[in-house]
Structures are given as C-alpha cells and as structure tokens.
C-alpha cells in the first residue's frame, strides 16, 4: 500500500515495514524542502501507525542522498536568520521526527551519502551499506559547516578524534572502512543488497514491537544517565513487558517450538 507518493519521495507500508524512498535519482537524491516536509510526515505517520514496526530509508538509483539541493541554499541567500530558520523549521524536522520514533529506523545506504545526506543516515539506528556506498560529511568542501546533526551524531559513533578528522577533511569513507569504524553494521554486495536489507528489516518487523521499543528507549536514555538510574529504569521496563500478551506468546512459542505471532499488546 502506498501512503505517500509525492514524486520526489515515496512512502509505502507493507508487511510491517514503512519504506521511505528518496526519489530524485537524476540529482543523486539531493533533497528539497518539499521532500523534507514529506519525509518528516512519513516518520510521524509511522510513529502513529500500529501496522508499522520498522522504518527503512533508502535512495532511488545509485545514490542514497547527496544532501540538500544547493538551489535551496541559493534561494535563501546570505541572510543569516533566514538560513537558520530554513534549517531549524525545515531540515531539522526530520531529525526531530526520528528522535521521537521508538521504532527501529534503518538506513539502507545504496550509494553515495554526502553532507546532510550522510547526516540523515547517521541519525538512523542502524546503517546497512552496499559495497559501492561511500560516505562523506563534505560540508567543508563547499565552505559550510555540518548543518544537519553531523557534529552531534558522528562523535557518538566513531569517537571525537575520528569524527573531527572526517568533519575537517570531508574525506570519503568506503563501505569497508565504514564497517570497520562502526558507521555501518553490515555491508553487502551490490547485487545482493536489496534482498539482504529487506530480509533484515523483515526480521525486525517480526519481533515483539513493545519489547523493541522499550529496548530502544532504554539504550537512548542510558546514554544520558548514571548506572543506578539506568538499572532502575530497565527494571521497570522489564516488569511492564513481562505481563504483555506478546511476552506470554514468546514464552509459549518457545515451549511449543513454533514461530510466535506478536500483536503489539
């Protein structure tokens, strides 16, 4: 079922998976503000939709996303407040929508992810790369600074020193390098990529959604809390999920040696 088809961005929901496709292959999927609006709307829809258990973001053609379309910056001009507003009230809507989504968000990086395109991949929970994928913060090459969260996300993934190196130089990282430094969790051959990432997200969609959401929240919150607070929080989470129908179903299926069927209750 197609939920959103705005031409430049397509959002579909099928078998528990909400798929966002950036659909400007002629421009390496550089995004416009209209795409940002549809992108954030798709994420908010996924948050409310019980039929969506996992979200995947990918690009059409041979690129993931080459960042913001430079014509957008040119239209804003050099007025500082106008540019800041374009970011905070426009582009950053996607980051906020991702942050509010307790369901898994997977970036299926099928090609180049540059500048804000790399940032859009970094804000996802997991990045799966095709062998031909390349990533670069790249802002410094066009006289800018990372405007879509790169300075926030990247150090948390690769450490401060490596993040500064990548941010300062704008160097490209290939798929194997991304895997070795923790930017990617998996790399697949180009010919196998689509089937491989779809198999992974389908596996996530088959897990008990309440438990998945609780784990994601606990991991996010634990980054900003001390050990005792984190342990107290997770004890509450475990007590809550233990009594759910899905939890009972998981244990029953294990005893009966069958595949569980989770309802999100």
Tens-digit pLDDT profile for residues 3-21: 566 689 999 999 999 999 9
Reply yes or no on whether the pLDDT at 1 is more than 60: no
Strands across the sheet containing 105-109: 2-5, 9-14, 17-22, 54-59, 105-109, 126-130, 186-188
Flag whether 261 is in a domain: no
Is residue 249 domain-resident? yes
Same domain, 188 and 217: no
Kindly report, residue by residue over 194-219, the tens digit of the pLDDT.
999 999 999 999 999 999 999 999 99
Pick the residue with more confidence: 93 or 2?
93
* 242 in the same domain as 130: no
Can you tell me the mean pLDDT for 231-246? 89
Confidence class for position 247, pLDDT limits 50, 70, 90: confident
Residue 72 has pLDDT above 70, yes or no: yes
Answer yes or no: do 201 and 227 share one domain: no
Do 222 and 137 share a structural domain? no
- Does 263 map to a domain? no
What pLDDT score was predicted for residue 78? 84
Within this chain, do residues 35 and 122 fall inside the same structural domain, yes or no?
A: yes
Residues 105 and 177 in one domain: yes
In a domain, 200, yes or no: yes
146-198 pLDDT per residue, tens: 999 999 999 999 999 999 999 999 999 999 999 999 999 999 999 999 999 99
- What is the arithmetic mean of pLDDT over 125-152? 95
Q: Give this prediction's pTM.
A: 0.91
76 band by pLDDT with thresholds 50, 70 and 90: confident
Residue 35 pLDDT greater than 70, yes or no: yes
**Overall domain count for the chain:** 2
Residue 262 lies in a domain: no
- Most confidently modeled range among 46-50, 74-78, 140-144: 46-50
Contacts of residue 142, defined as CB under 8 A and 6 or more positions apart, other chains included, come to 70, 115
Average pLDDT over residues 220-228: 89
- What percent of the chain lies above the pLDDT cut of 70? 98
What distance in Å separates the CA atoms of residue 172 and residue 138, rounded to the nearest whole number? 8
Is 109 in contact with 57 (CB distance < 8 Å)? no
List, for residues 87-124, the tens digit of each pLDDT value: 999 999 999 999 999 999 999 999 999 999 999 999 99
Q: Give mean pLDDT, residues 47-65.
A: 97
Judgement on whether residues 222 and 97 belong to the same structural domain of the protein = no
Q: At what angle do helices 92-99 and 33-48 cross, to 10 degrees?
A: 10
122 lies in a domain? yes
pLDDT number for residue 111: 96
Do 23 and 140 lie in one domain? The reply is yes
What pLDDT is recorded for position 4?
60
Are 201 and 235 in a shared domain? no
Q: Is residue 133 part of a domain?
A: yes
264 lies in some domain: no
Print the domain residue range for 146: 2-205
pLDDT of the residue at 6: 62
- Do 236 and 248 lie in a common domain? yes
CATH, residue 105: 3.90.226.10
Same domain, 172 and 249: no
Residue 2 has pLDDT above 60, yes or no: no
Query: Residues 218, 162: one domain?
Result: no
């Amino acid at each position: 079922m197609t939920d959103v088809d705005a031409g430049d961005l397509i959002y579909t929901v099928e078998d528990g998976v909400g798929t966002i496709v950036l659909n400007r292959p002629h421009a390496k999927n550089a995004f416009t503000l209209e795409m940002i609006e549809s992108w954030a709307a798709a994420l908010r829809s996924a948050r409310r939709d019980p039929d969506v258990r996992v979200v995947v973001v990918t690009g059409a053609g041979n690129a993931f996303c080459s960042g913001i379309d430079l014509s957008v910056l040119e239209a804003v001009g050099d007025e500082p407040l106008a540019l800041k507003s374009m970011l905070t009230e426009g582009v950053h809507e996607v980051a906020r929508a991702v942050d509010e989504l307790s369901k898994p968000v997977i970036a299926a990086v099928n090609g180049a992810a540059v500048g804000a395109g790399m940032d859009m991949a970094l804000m996802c929970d997991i990045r799966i790369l095709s062998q031909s994928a390349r990533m670069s913060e790249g802002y410094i090459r066009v006289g800018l600074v990372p405007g879509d969260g790169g300075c926030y996300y990247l150090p948390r993934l690769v450490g401060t020193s490596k993040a500064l190196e990548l941010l300062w130089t704008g160097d490209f990282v290939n798929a194997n390098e991304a895997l070795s430094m923790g930017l990617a969790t998996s790399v697949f051959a180009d010919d196998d990529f689509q089937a491989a990432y779809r198999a992974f997200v389908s596996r996530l969609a088959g897990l008990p959604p309440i438990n998945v959401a609780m784990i994601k929240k606990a991991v996010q919150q634990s980054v900003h809390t001390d050990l005792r607070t984190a342990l107290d929080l997770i004890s509450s989470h475990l007590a809550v999920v233990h009594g759910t129908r899905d939890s009972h179903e998981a244990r029953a299926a294990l005893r009966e040696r069958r595949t569980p069927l989770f309802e999100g209750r």
